[in-house]
Amino acid sequence: MSELNQKICDEFAGLVVRKDLVKTVKGNAIVPSYVLEYLLGQYCATNDEASIESGIQTVKEILAKHYVHRNEAGLVRSTIREKGRYKIIDKVSVSLNDKKDVYEAEFSNLGIKKVLIDSGTVKKHPKLLVGGVWVIADIEYDHTDDKDTSPWLLSTIKPIQMSHFDYDGYIDSRSKFNLDEWIDVLVQSIGFNPEFFGRRSKLMQLVRLIPFCERNYNLIELGPKGTGKSHIYSEFSPHGILISGGEVTVPKLFVNNSSGKLGLVGYWDTVAFDEFAGKQKRVDKALVDIMKNYMANKSFSRGVETLGADASMAFVGNTEHSLPYMLKHSDLFDALPEKFYDSAFLDRLHFYIPGWEVDIIRGEMFSDGYGFVVDYLAEVLRHLRNQDYSDQYQEYFQLSSQISTRDRDAVHKTFSGLMKILFPQGGATETEIEEILKFAMEGRKRVKDQLFRIDSTYADVNFAYSNNAGKEAPVQTLEELQYPNYFNKTVGEVTDIGMPDLDIDLVHSSSESEKSKSDNVGEYRDEELKEQHLTVAENQQGVSYDSLFGPYFKGAKHITIIDPYIRLFYQAKNLMELLETIIKQKSEEEEVVVSLITVEDDFKGEQQREYFEKIQASMFAVGIKFSYSFEISDSQHARYVVIDTGWKVSLDRGLDIFQQYDVNDAFSLTNRLQKHRACKAFEVTFIKTDT
């Protein structure tokens, strides 16, 4: 067990579960994760292997015996009849039969209706009336000759969620973790292995939790398929509900004027709309108008009466085009239905998660470490809805006076939500607060930048903040850095097609014809090389060894690579790809000597040598004389490349600039082309030396 997992188990004893157990016990039971983790929390909230094995068997037996599969509903109904009473796990919804003045329950999988339920239970659990609740229930059977009376009787009912928790204990235990550890705890609690995510990507996962801890928070995430956009809202919390975007109606969402029945926003903390995108989807304009009013004012009308609610809204959908295509030809809201493609509606959104930055979920990305029983974390987040952390940056920073009230409110809500999630105990440093504030501002700026493209009446805003010394820091979105030539232009208007800010000015074209050929970061043009320092943001794409190093390798006869971290397979693969860049820069008839100086791995030195010898054999045939030596100590961390043409390239991360990707997927562009990979945050300096 890792040090972090041991710490989680020690500090939150009985409240955590090993995340891979959910798949182990789920089988073919179609139930949300929080239902399974509720059961696992009862029997497997430990790090003792024997107890875990015993607990898994117990949970499996409970599911096998009491979970109702729809195709076995007849058998379960027969069992209840024969035994007279039986315990089941099922989803229950309740409706009022106003003719008889009674509440009647309907069991989703069991397939029985009109089961009487007392009004006290309904008042205690009002969500039974909207959307339904997963429960453990005792059902009885008592046949009667009265055709109007159901033979099914509800003896006991217990919603599957925690009844209470110790918030003070949570705060006390949180203080035992530093920020990096705590972020990893939360990412593991969601179900992912934090090793596969950079800092920025982890924060994006955590932004998905803000609707659960911040009232009236409006979040949108548009991106490619398969990135887990709707997972949080369907599986994570008993206080959230996920509905299809095509199923939304005014009565269902807000209020039924004829019956007076309150809709989903009156009962759920978070209402998420799945498959929200799709230009051809038919949408009721009246619904859009009511949603705009609710998202702005937290209220909606029922006839002459105005009602308030605090449900947050999350909109998730798939984009139809690539990021550069949208930036050049339309905007980042391009995929939305026509009625929602409304600047007044979009202006109510507090944060836009750039789904194109979120990696497509792969099997190895799921965690087998320990995280909170999600129902426990859901209760913590719900408790935090009563608190406000939006002013905690004001001790150190001030927002630009140009930022409007609506923009300011959006930034405050995101900042408050992330602070609740990351620092419920307080005590964040100035640097940590600045990171969260910039991230919150970027998410709102993404919305505002697109509004500027959609509706020219919106004024351009200086999204910036300043510290107490008065130094102003502008905030930019990653797509603004990566595609400056397409950014904030009227659709179709593209000015000088340069290269994004990273290699960004490595080279400039010497003619207009060359400019038209070089629209991507991965390409470069000949020009006099220059000393420079480049900073690449996390998740930035378009970076390759060709674009970074290629021009500097031209004409080289001897290249020395100093990097103590060329040990594992993916690191050796990075080295191979750098050598491919060198090959592209040399003439076929020339030879180049490449010397690697690294550190021998203490445990897998033999395998490491095998990698290098295979590279050596492969390179010899194309005129690259590759050699390696273990001449530096473990304590040396400097990484750089020395080129005999008079250049030194200093790399703070060495060759390890790309985030993890599936190296076994031959059909993935991230595997084939470096410029399609998301980068880690890194810096590189090009220094002219004496030749």
User: What's the pLDDT tens digit per position in 408-461?
Assistant: 999 999 999 999 999 999 999 999 999 999 999 999 999 999 998 898 888 888
pLDDT band of residue 238 (cuts 50, 70, 90) is confident
CA dist 315 and 50 (Å) reads 43
Coarse DSSP helix, strand, coil percentages of the chain, rounded to the nearest 5 percent: 40, 20, 40
The strand order across the sheet containing 640-643 reads 532-536, 682-688, 647-651, 640-643, 558-562, 592-597, 624-629
Bin 639: left if φ > 0, else alpha if -120 < ψ < 50, else beta: beta
CATH topology for 70-159 is OB fold (Dihydrolipoamide Acetyltransferase, E2P) (2.40.50)
What is the pLDDT at residue 634?
62
Between 482-491, 536-545, 569-578, 595-604, the lowest mean confidence (pLDDT) is in 482-491
Closest to 278 (Cα-Cα) out of 212, 348, 225, 347 = 225
Contacts of 397 (CB under 8 A, 6+ apart): 433, 434, 437, 465, 466, 467, 468
Q: What is the pLDDT of residue 344?
A: 94
Q: Under 8 Å CB-to-CB from 614, ≥6 apart: which residues?
A: none
One-letter identity of residue 91: K
SS3 550: helix
| pLDDT score, position 631 | 83
- Beta-ladder partners of 156: 138
Specify the length of the chain in residues.
691
Burial class (CB within 10 angstroms; exposed 0-12, middle 13-18, buried 19+) of 690? exposed
> What residue type is assigned to position 359 of the chain?
D
Average pLDDT score, the chain: 88
How would DSSP label each residue in 624-658? EEEEEE--S-TT----EEEETTTEEEEETTTT--B
Phi, psi angle pair for 299, to nearest 5°: -145, 165
Contact yes or no for 196/364 (Cβ under 8 A): yes
Q: Which residue has the tokens 């970074």?
A: 548
Q: What is the mean pLDDT of residues 242-265?
A: 83
Rounded CA-CA distance 96/99 in Å is: 9
* pLDDT reported for residue 502: 42
Q: Give me the CATH topology for the region 165-374.
A: Rossmann fold (3.40.50)
| Count of beta carbons in the 10 Å neighbourhood of residue 285 | 10
Tokens of 111: 């397939």
Yes or no: say if 220 and 353 are a contact pair by the CB < 8 Å rule: yes
Tell me, which fold does domain 503-688 have in CATH? Answer: Endonuclease; Chain A (3.30.870)
Q: Sign of the CA dihedral 83, 86, 90, 93?
A: positive
Backbone CA torsion sign across 26, 31, 33, 39: negative
Radius of gyration, alpha carbons of the chain:
29
What is the average per-residue pLDDT within 41-52? 84
Q: Which of 251-260, 450-459, 557-566, 665-674 has the lowest mean pLDDT?
A: 251-260
Identify the CA nearest to 498 among candidates 490, 658, 487, 329: 487
Pinpoint the alpha helices (H) of 455-532.
478-482, 512-517
148 pLDDT above the threshold of 80: no
- Whole-angstrom Cα distance, residue 318 to residue 335? 7
Q: Does residue 684 surpass a pLDDT of 80?
A: yes
How do residues 510-542 score in pLDDT, each as one tens digit? 333 333 333 333 444 445 789 999 999 999 999
Which of 672, 579, 585 has its CA nearest to residue 621? 579
Phi/psi at 79 (nearest 5 deg)? -60, -45
User: What pLDDT was estimated at residue 489?
Assistant: 56
Three-state SS at 391 = coil
Residue boundaries of the structural domains of the chain: 70-159, 165-374, 388-485, 503-688
The CA distance from 208 to 544, in Å, is 31
> What order of strands is seen across the sheet that includes strand 464-467?
397-399, 464-467, 472-474
